[in-house]
Amino acid sequence: MTNYPEKRSLTNAGAKMRRRKSFISYGVTFLQNALRNSAFCILPSEFPLSLLALACLNSAALAAPQTFDFKDPKGVNNAVFKLDAPLEAVNGNATGISGTVTFDPADPAATKGKIVVASSSLHVGNPMQQQHMLSDKWLNAAGYPEISFEAKELKNVRTDGDATTADVTGAFTLKGISKDITVPVKFTFLKDKLGQRVPNQKGDLLVIRANFSIKRSDFGIMPGQMEEKVSDTIELTLSIAGASPR
């Protein structure tokens, strides 16, 4: 049977196409594994430059941390405070919350950020207590309009699914005095859930929950005075969610 040049050419082309498909399939599998397991671009030298560039770009995109904005237009974010003295208990909340947190689901230990509470937004039910609380003798809300916590370091980081717990050390600032404290915090990363909180908005959510306590005397708030009615210990609960739109 005559072996025509055209037939040999088609046979060679088919073989080249099969090798090309096999190489591309290998490349895709390698990239998927590399991107799942590492943020670095370490690829074999025989990879084409285009695949190498694609791997680096995709890896960088996946490894990039996201910035979440905690200024909530719905006013749902809140901080709750409680002072339980022998004679009286004071309970209140604050909704004037803002700030940003940088969070990477692939590397939660690198989390940084600052949460701010407007001092004037603190509220208690009793009008006289409210007036006293914001006065210059207590919080001096006019002179010190912000209460804040700025994260510096995370330890004992544990991730289970979408939830990460950690001991977060940072600077807590109240009435112009800053002190480093460590707070147990739970972060929950909710991918593509922003639309369920803010209609017609695509993006991700980062939910933060924290319970901790401070002493008002540490921040120069009437130290040693009226402790039978106003506890020195202030218990704080933070329930907030930040948005990262797309």
- Amino acid (1-letter code) at residue 214: I
Which of 8-22, 36-50, 109-123 is predicted most confidently?
109-123
Structure confidence by residue, pLDDT tens digits, 84-97: 999 999 999 999 99
The answer to whether residues 40 and 88 belong to one domain is no
Q: What span, in angstroms and rounded, lies between the C-alpha atoms of 143 and 37?
A: 50
Q: Distance (Å, rounded) from C-alpha 216 to C-alpha 175?
A: 10
Residue numbers of the domain that contains 164 = 66-245
Quick one: 171 and 107 in the same domain?
A: yes
Q: Does 83 share its domain with 204? A: yes
Last residue of a domain, one of 27, 46, 63: 63
Q: Is the pLDDT of residue 20 over 90?
A: no
Choose the final residue of a domain: 44, 63, 82: 63
Q: Which residue has the tokens 């950690």?
A: 166
Residues 136 and 203 both lie in one domain: yes
CATH value at residue 140: 2.40.128.110
Spatial CB neighbours of 170, under 8 Å, sequence gap ≥ 6: 149, 150, 151, 152, 153, 180, 181, 183
Q: Band of the pLDDT at 39, cuts 50, 70, 90?
A: very low
Look up the pTM and report it: 0.75
Model pLDDT for residues 147-163, shown as the tens digit of each residue = 999 999 999 999 999 99
To the nearest whole number, what is the mean pLDDT of the chain?
84
Question: What pLDDT does residue 203 have?
Answer: 97
Number of domains in the chain: 2
Could you tell me if 33 and 140 lie in one domain? no
Residue 14 shares a structural domain with residue 100: no
Q: Is the dihedral of CA 199, 203, 204, 208 positive or negative?
A: negative
Q: How confident is the model at residue 62 (pLDDT cuts 50, 70, 90)?
A: low
- The Cα 119–Cα 95 span in angstroms is 10
